[in-house]
């Protein structure tokens, strides 16, 4: 994965971008349906296509949940690459095959002439309005569904537009975990009520268009944190158009039909322990970097989702292989996050620190004024420390911050290395 000009990669944890040699597709541990779908691609695209398949496969077994809180097996993936490199024809093609199968009954669920949705399509476009999506999702509280676009630039719109992907952030964020979402528009024909979205998505576009949506605001709002970013690299090989035989498509259809009948909650100690062990190792590798530590949380959740999904795709067999596959997806998600959103989140942390620092300063302003009045005409840092220590305010860093503010505001002047005089 080539580093984008406006994105900064974390140096302390991963010094190499993601590519097929650094983190190759684990062919011997992946579920058979994934391996079959990506097998004819070059190695550099097997990796990206496998990640791109996760949203559609999560919809195929959309009745499944995992964990004590019964979260959906939802995946949100954004594929980006330079124009003309074949993102749609190669990285997204296996996912399109599965999407065509799972959406075979979607026309029966579309909105009718009297604007009453009969059901919820399993695959919808990114240009859908929040109102229409909400109406559909009323009929899908126990199923995972997805949005798809092979060109996100046609669906970005503006933040104020009614038919804009920008408007879907809240639903998508809550849909990742199946959290209740309430809407109450003023217009008579709009949607009012509660929905329980379970949402996956696969989006595709150039770096400029993908990150026009998944920008700093989306990072701070939280929707970007759930996304696995996948770079579709340029391939120098001459690659033929990807196609599947009639027999293969029939086998995919039979598999999807079986997956659609699965409807249970998974909670396996082996998966939970493996994910926790992985998390602890990653957090330890972050040292004192709190932002990097916090960024491990969502990939850990993705570890669990991927392992449980693979376990279902394996027909509830080969749990060890499913765990290995889950670890691979989590590793990809974490490296992708560190490469793409780390610096943005670091900047947000600095803004938050400034906010809390200013809040604390206002909170203790009266106390600091009283302390300055109580200090002698000439005083030292130790005098400030002693005064604060009596009231359980300790710490050399706090002392210097207070003294610096007094100097800046013209309340004191420094007369020696450790001597200050009130003005």
Which residue numbers in the chain have pLDDT < 50?
Answer: 1-15, 113-115, 161-163, 357-360
CATH of the domain at 381: 1.10.10
Q: Do the Cβ atoms of 52 and 92 come closer than 8 Å?
A: yes
In a domain, 279, yes or no: no
- Total-model pTM: 0.78
Q: Does the residue 183 lie in any domain?
A: yes
CATH number at residue 261: 3.40.50
Tell which of 207, 238, 266 closes a domain.
266
The answer to whether residues 215 and 91 belong to one domain is yes
The answer to whether residues 258 and 368 belong to one domain is no
Is 384 found in the same domain as 238?
A: no
pLDDT one-digit tens code per residue, 263-295 = 999 999 999 999 999 999 999 999 989 889 999
The closest of 346, 333, 242 to 54, measured between CA atoms, is 333
Say how many domains are in the chain.
Answer: 2
pLDDT value, residue 156: 65
Count of Cβ atoms closer than 10 Å to residue 86 Cβ? 17
Indicate whether 15 belongs to any domain: no
Tell me, yes or no, whether 70 lies in a domain: yes
- Which of 71, 76, 74, 26 lies closest to 46 in space, CA to CA? 26
Q: State which residues form the domain around 48.
A: 32-266
HSE-up of residue 138 (Cα within 13 Å, Cβ side): 16
Residues 192 and 75 in one domain: yes
Whole-angstrom Cα distance, residue 337 to residue 62? 26
Report yes or no on 18 lying in a domain.
no
| 14 is a domain residue | no
- Is the residue at 41 inside a domain? yes
Q: How far from chain centre, in Å, is Cα 365? A: 40
Domain boundary among 248, 266, 284: 266
- The pLDDT of residue 3: 39
For the chain, the first-to-last Cα distance in angstroms comes to 59
Q: Give the pLDDT score at 5.
A: 33
pLDDT digits (tens, 9 = 90+) for 339-374: 888 888 888 877 766 555 444 455 555 567 788 888
**Shared-domain flag, residues 109 and 239:** yes
The helix or strand, by DSSP H or E, that contains position 149, with its residue range, turns out to be strand 145-149
∠ CA 233-60-215, nearest 5°, is 45
Please report whether residue 401 resides in a domain: yes
- Cβ contacts of 98-106, under 8 Å, gap ≥ 24: 98/37, 98/53, 98/56, 98/57, 98/60, 98/252, 98/256, 99/56, 99/59, 99/123, 99/146, 99/148, 101/60, 101/252, 101/253, 101/256, 102/56, 102/59, 102/60, 102/256, 102/260
Domain boundary among 266, 284, 317: 266
Give the pLDDT confidence score for residue 302 in this predicted structure. 98
pLDDT attached to residue 187: 54
Nearest to 218 by CA among 162, 159, 267: 159
Please tell me the distance from the alpha carbon of residue 46 to that of residue 393, in angstroms, as a whole number: 58
Indicate whether 36 and 168 sit together in one domain.
Answer: yes
Residues 243 and 377 grouped into a single domain: no
């Amino acid at each position: 994965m080539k580093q984008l000009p406006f994105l900064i990669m974390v140096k302390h944890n991963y010094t190499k971008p993601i590519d097929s040699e650094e983190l190759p597709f684990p062919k011997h541990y992946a579920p058979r349906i994934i391996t079959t779908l990506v097998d004819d691609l070059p190695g550099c695209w097997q990796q990206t296509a496998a990640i791109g398949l996760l949203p559609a496969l999560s919809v195929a077994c959309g009745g499944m949940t995992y964990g004590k809180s019964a979260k959906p097996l939802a995946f949100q993936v954004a594929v980006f690459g330079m124009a003309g490199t074949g993102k749609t024809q190669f990285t997204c093609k296996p996912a399109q095959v599965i999407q065509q199968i799972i959406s075979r009954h979607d026309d029966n669920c579309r909105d009718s002439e009297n604007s009453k949705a009969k059901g919820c399509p399993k695959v919808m476009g990114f240009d859908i309005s929040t109102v229409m999506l909400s109406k559909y999702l009323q009929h899908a509280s126990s199923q995972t569904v997805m949005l798809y676009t092979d060109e996100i630039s046609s669906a970005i719109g503006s933040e104020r537009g009614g038919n804009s992907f920008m408007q879907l952030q809240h639903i998508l964020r809550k849909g990742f975990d199946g959290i209740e979402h309430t809407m109450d528009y003023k217009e008579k024909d709009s949607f009012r009520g509660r929905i329980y979205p379970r949402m996956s998505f696969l989006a595709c576009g150039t770096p400029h268009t993908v990150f026009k949506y998944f920008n700093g605001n989306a990072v701070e709002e939280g929707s970007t944190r759930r996304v696995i970013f996948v770079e579709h690299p340029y391939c120098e090989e001459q690659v033929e158009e990807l196609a599947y035989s009639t027999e293969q498509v029939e086998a995919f259809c039979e598999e999807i039909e079986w997956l659609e009948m699965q409807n249970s909650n998974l909670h396996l100690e082996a998966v939970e322990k493996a994910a926790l062990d992985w998390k602890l190792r990653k957090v330890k590798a972050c040292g004192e970097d709190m932002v990097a530590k916090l960024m491990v949380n969502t990939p850990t959740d993705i570890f669990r989702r991927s392992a449980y999904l693979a376990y279902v795709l394996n027909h509830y067999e080969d749990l060890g292989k499913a765990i290995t596959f889950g670890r691979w997806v989590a590793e990809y998600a974490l490296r992708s996050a560190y490469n793409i959103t780390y610096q943005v989140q670091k900047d947000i942390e600095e803004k938050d620190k400034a906010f809390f620092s200013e809040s604390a300063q206002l909170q203790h302003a009266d106390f600091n004024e009283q302390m300055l009045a109580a200090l002698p005409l000439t005083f030292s840092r130790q005098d400030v420390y002693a005064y604060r220590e009596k009231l359980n305010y300790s710490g050399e860093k706090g002392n210097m911050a207070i003294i610096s503010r007094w100097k800046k505001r013209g309340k004191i002047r420094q007369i020696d290395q450790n001597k200050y005089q009130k003005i």
